[in-house]
Amino acid sequence: MSFKVLLCGGSGLLGQELLRNIPEGVEVWAPSSTEINISNKAVVLDELRSYQPSLIINAAAYTNVDAAEENQDLAYAVNRDGPENLGLYAVEAGVSVIHISTDYVFGGEKCTPYIETDAPNPINVYGKSKLAGERALQQVCEKSLILRTSWLFGEYGDSFIRRFIVLMFEEESIDVVSDQYSALTRTDALSAYIWLVAERIRLCLPILWGVVHFSGGKLCSKYDLVKEVFHILMQENGNLKCKVVNPVSHDFFKNTARRPFFSLLKTNENSIRLLSFGNYEKMNKSVLKIYRELILENKTIIGK
């Protein structure tokens, strides 16, 4: 009998990685947001009672940080009510929830990595709604694991690195914020960790429920990351239209939402061994894979 997993957010960056690495003996249903609106309690309970998953993985979220300031109701519906509704079913059915959260639950006041017991202090609606989701889930479902992560990057789906790769073939110069710091987390590392936890749940092995930090670990700014990508692509193709990557202050873009200046997460020691392929210094292969895919998708946009 297969181990049935409901995956919410299967079309996202992490969701696509999870779907590409489904372990043997696991059946995954990854409905779209139109098939299951997780903010609708009645729909969630009805659909999940029909499917009867053994585990719920929630990678769905409203992640547009600036738009959340203007769409607070929607952000809270997805990021708070969604996890709560999934947790209500989990308690009813006696199953578990793995929920993905964010470093943005912290305000950036520290200068050392945040640990799981640090008091959250989000400074934007996105972070506040994600924290509300963590708390709502924990209040209704004891068997929940909340994985906080940061700056996801993978070979599949949209990411800020993919967007900057496109810009390097369209713009002569790129401005990137250099005074906000966190860590890049590869989706293959996080996906591997999630499936390991799922296997422990399937085998009824002990799980430390609660909040766990899983992040790339190496402190960097997005400017550091984009500069690294720039160097990788310059070695691959010297005909980039972009000739310079400029470091700029956080207030250069006049964003609607504030971002924390420092949100580095101290990764749980049990997760460290999986991060050997999560370090941004080892992302050359993925960057080049994305670059080559973009060329095949749209040769008129990407440099010749």
Per-residue pLDDT, 240: 83
Among the listed residues 62, 89, 114, 126, the single catalytic one is 126
Residues of the chain with pLDDT under 70: 1, 217, 238, 269-284, 291, 294-304
Angle at 97 between CA 211 and CA 71, to 5 degrees: 80
d(CA 256, CA 244): 26
DSSP 201-267: HHTT-----EEEE------EEHHHHHHHHHHHHHHH-TT-S--EEEEE-GGGS--SS---SB--B--
Per-residue pLDDT, 284: 67
Per-residue pLDDT, 218: 80
DSSP 104-172: GGS-S--SS-B-TTSPP---SHHHHHHHHHHHHHHHH-SSEEEEEE-SEE-SSS--HHHHHHHHHTT-S
d(CA 86, CA 138): 11
Residue 126 among the catalytic residues: yes
Per-residue pLDDT, 296: 61
Per-residue pLDDT, 154: 86
Per-residue pLDDT, 135: 98
Predicted TM-score (pTM) of the model is: 0.92
d(CA 3, CA 55): 8
d(CA 62, CA 216): 22
